[in-house]
Amino acid sequence: MWTYAARRMLLVVPVLLGLSILVFLLIHLAPGDPVTVQLGIHATAETAARLRSSLGLNAPLPVQYALWLNRVVRLDLGTSLYAHAPVAELIAQRFPTTLALTVASILLSLVIGVPLGVVSATRRDGIIDNVGRLFSIIDVSIPVFWLGFLLILAFAIGIPVFPPGGSVSEYGPIALVLPSVTLGASFAGIVVRFTRAAMLEVLGEDYIRTAQAKGLSTFAVNYSHALGNSLIPLVTVVGLQVGVLLSGAVLTETVFSLPGLGLLMVGAVAARDYPMVLGTVLFVAVLVVLVNLAVDLLYGVLDPRVRYE
Amino acid sequence: MSDHSTNVNQTLSVAVAGNAVLEWTDDGWLGRLRRNRLALVGTAGIALFLSVGLFAPLIEPYPWSQFDLAHRLSGPTLRHVFGTDQFGRDILSRTIYGARVSMLVALAATAIGTVGGVLIGAAAGFFGGWIDELSMRTMDIILAFPQIVLAIAVAALLGPSLINVIWIVGLLMVPQFARVTRGSVIGVMNLEYITATRTIGQSEVMIVVRHILPNIAGPLIVLASLAIPGAIITEAALSFLGAGVQLPEPSWGNLLSGGNAYLLQAPWLSIFPGLAITLAVLSFNLLGDGLRDALDVAGGPA
Amino acid sequence: MVSLQGGEPLLTVRDLAVDMRQRHGVVHAVRGLSYSLDKGEAMGIAGESGSGKTISSLALLGLLPAGISRVVRGSILFAGRDIVGMQDTELRALRGGRISMVFQNPLSSLNPVMTIGRQLTEAIRLHLELSADEACGRAIEMLELVGIPDPERRLSDYPHHFSGGMRQRVMIAMALSCRPDLIVADEPTTALDVTIQAQVLDLLNRLRHELGMAVILISHDLGVVADTTDRIAIMYAGRIVETGPTRQVLGAPRHPYTIGLLRSIPSLDGLRRRELAAIEGAPPDLSVDITGCPFRDRCAWAIQECAEIDPPLEPVAPRHTVACWVKPAETVEAT
């Protein structure tokens, strides 16, 4: 088990390095020279000169990368052109909201999606199955930002309960409800699909037949034996969709004006606040990689075949 | 001779309460596809949206940029079937034109993704070694980024425009195609390699080319049909966030963001473009699902 | 069929017919199967894949795949009750409790994420209504019985901690744990090494005598069936074509198919230098109705009648019946 964990953690390092290289290259994509990119056109000559030397712009690219990487590892992601504050600080401020939104959405999507997927598989081609598959494919087709609008129209205007937008600090946690419902419902379609597929595959295995031959009730066979085996791949697959969820979170925050990481990034894009944009991208990418690692390790814990290797 | 025991093993353990079984005749994938009613609905939808996109200038009741200040923010009427926006521009016309933009981006981006992906994947599979390692690691890194986040960042850096959106969305699709192609190439290589080693160097390449194409066509078609709706949504998302097609040129995405400010007064600004996106994406998804079932290919999310 | 032990036979299958829906149409997998089994008796069912032997055994437990198979006619009487058409609740009481099954592939027949102990006690608690502790004790007993060392510790192990042979032993332990009247073993040794095969068969034999259970042993391998059964039934194309005491049928077969099967077993006795005789042709397509004997296309003795009328089972010796118009009496060297 520990060899498994160690192996997984080692594999992450090259990916993180690769990520950082990609982001570093992106910086050089921006129009204008990196100093302007980092400081904006209104920077004073001194600041520009200081940055120029610290960036080592005359040095070859790999050296610049090393210098940049050095700063990044110390959590110095530059300064926001727009807000005149360190990027890292702003990210830390906004991140909890996005985290809360994402977690709530995952939970909601599991609550809706897993039962539907399970029943879909156990009563294959029945009414619930057809409804479930139809729901799934329609749900996947509805853009999350449109769904947000529809929910605002329905709830905040038609039945004024939830605020149509605004932050947690303004309205309290209730501000998270509609956005979580939006993102959660949007993700539920994929969950239904995965659950159904995992269950169907498990139900076709030999050990299910053995369980039936022992005289176990259908309920015991489906839930005790089949679901237990399905949950493991399901959890890992869902965990791997974190990237998709974060993208969805960005869009949802925009619709609901929820001040999280997503809205921060979108604002930065509009303001051409390059350090902020790149800092956020790097943060999010690293986060996704780390979550994937966590999911991998979780899999190692849940599956006894791996646990006791 | 059918082996009853294996069939029994495969189907036995489904704890099911009575269900229908398809009576299958083996008339090939096209036959199976034709019998899938949802896939046919999807195909009809695709045809509809493609033609709307193609013939947009001929269909739109009004030029999409035309102001009609007398009828600003009017709801759906006979004159303006989808209503008008804050400048009196006809929403239906703008939605039709948006279809053109979306179809264009989706198809062009998918083309880029396919060509790029196939080239990289084939090279990786065929040559192996460091070319394989390097390209696949790069693909993995691109896949490690949440798509929209990366797309926004690049769009911000390059400046938002239609061309840039096409390139960005296209490049984001390359890793999936590369992976699938590489897998198929390796599969074929293992098959043919034995005979290939006995032939001259040139023939080896010919064999590979002649045998790869039919083998990868299946999974690639399924992947493409499922990637196109993703491209539509990504473009819409980018335009929605302001990192894609810029106003006043309409894209379904920026129509939605434009409607945000008037959500209370004029919900039709947001309802119709969103509906268009949903129906277009749904059509492609239905066909893609149908193709996947018909071709018996294990597609699915990477 | 007459039971010699006085009293009712434990199991009577009468004219069982099962249809299965496949991709290309409906297949008549079992076309009129009849046999009976007494308490404590061991019967082997031999035949190639596709002969219907597995399907008929699944029917015994009511485990035919729902939706694609159905019993067209016939009855399966077990201890006086007909399994065909039985309610689910009653069937489940029988399964594992009075009739158990051991399946072919031990590597995939155990739930990989559940401990062996849990999988064993599950059935025990269900059928014997014991407390958790009592059930554990019984599980340990069973593991000892099948020869698994250190059973108490092994209860908390997972299936992948056991080798193939040991897993099959665990399956047997599971099947025996509720003292069933009948065990159906479908190719129990096919997936195992030859040496392990012998061990497992030995075990089954020993336990059968110790516990007095009836056994149905299904195999395509005549060697497996030869030493462990009292009676044998040879199945072909969904029907029994020959049945009788094992030694008799294998020593003096009277059906062309059985003769062919025995001839195709290689002899280790190098002196004979006999050619390996494969049976020419292939089994018939069971999705069409068959007139006459299903074996006639591959039969060296076929006569006119064989093409027209399907031969019924007729006795050639006490308790030895054959379904053939010719019933050739070729001698096959005993292997």
Q: How confident is the model at residue B11, as a pLDDT?
A: 32
Q: How confident is the model at residue C2, as a pLDDT?
A: 40
- Interface residue C108 vs chain A (CB under 8 A): yes
Whether residue A239 has pLDDT greater than 90: no
Whether residue A257 has pLDDT greater than 80: yes
Task: Find residues 5-44 of chain B whose CB sits inside 8 Å of chain A.
Answer: 9-17, 19-20
Of B31 and C298, which is predicted with more confidence?
A: C298
In this prediction, residue A156 has a pLDDT band, given cuts at 50, 70 and 90, of: low
Q: How confident is the model at residue C311, as a pLDDT?
A: 86
Instruction: Tell me whether residues C108 and A205 touch, CB distance under 8 A.
Output: yes
In this prediction, residue C44 has a pLDDT band, given cuts at 50, 70 and 90, of: very high
- Counting one residue from chain A and one from chain B, the pairs whose CB atoms sit within 8 A come to 178
- Interface residue A236 vs chain C (CB under 8 A): no
Whether residue B13 has pLDDT greater than 50: no
Q: Which residues of chain A have a CB within 8 Å of the CB of B150?
A: 281, 285
For chain B, give every domain's residue range: 57-285
Contact A221, A211 (CB under 8 A): yes
Over the stretch A101-136, which tens digit does the pLDDT of each residue have? 999 999 999 999 999 999 888 888 888 888 888 899
Whether residue A142 has pLDDT greater than 90: yes
Average confidence score pLDDT of chain A: 82
Alpha carbon distance C54, C60 (integer Å): 10
Alpha carbon distance C69, C258 (integer Å): 28
Mean pLDDT, to the nearest integer, of A239-267?
88
Q: How confident is the model at residue A1, as a pLDDT?
A: 63
Q: How confident is the model at residue B142, as a pLDDT?
A: 85
Of B189 and A153, which is predicted with more confidence?
A: A153
Q: How confident is the model at residue C42, as a pLDDT?
A: 92
Q: Answer yes or no: CATH 1.10.3720.10 is held by domain B57-285.
A: yes
- Interface residue A143 vs chain B (CB under 8 A): yes
Whether residue C93 has pLDDT greater than 90: no
Whether residue A187 has pLDDT greater than 90: yes
Q: How confident is the model at residue B263, as a pLDDT?
A: 76
Instruction: Tell me whether residues A214 and C95 touch, CB distance under 8 A.
Output: yes
Q: Which residues of chain C have a CB within 8 Å of the CB of B31?
A: none
Mean pLDDT, to the nearest integer, of C143-160?
88
In this prediction, residue C276 has a pLDDT band, given cuts at 50, 70 and 90, of: low
Alpha carbon distance A282, A24 (integer Å): 9
A209 vs C63, C112, C126: nearest CB: C63
Whether residue A163 has pLDDT greater than 50: yes
Over the stretch A191-203, which tens digit does the pLDDT of each residue have? 998 899 889 888 8
Whether residue B4 has pLDDT greater than 80: no
Q: How confident is the model at residue B298, as a pLDDT?
A: 42
Alpha carbon distance A270, A86 (integer Å): 18
Mean pLDDT, to the nearest integer, of A228-233?
85
Mean pLDDT, to the nearest integer, of A138-162?
82
Whether residue A137 has pLDDT greater than 70: yes
Tell me the two tokens of residue A212. Answer: 């039936």
Q: How confident is the model at residue A55, as a pLDDT?
A: 58
Of B36 and C111, which is predicted with more confidence?
A: C111
In this prediction, residue C300 has a pLDDT band, given cuts at 50, 70 and 90, of: confident
In this prediction, residue A183 has a pLDDT band, given cuts at 50, 70 and 90, of: very high
Q: How confident is the model at residue C87, as a pLDDT?
A: 86
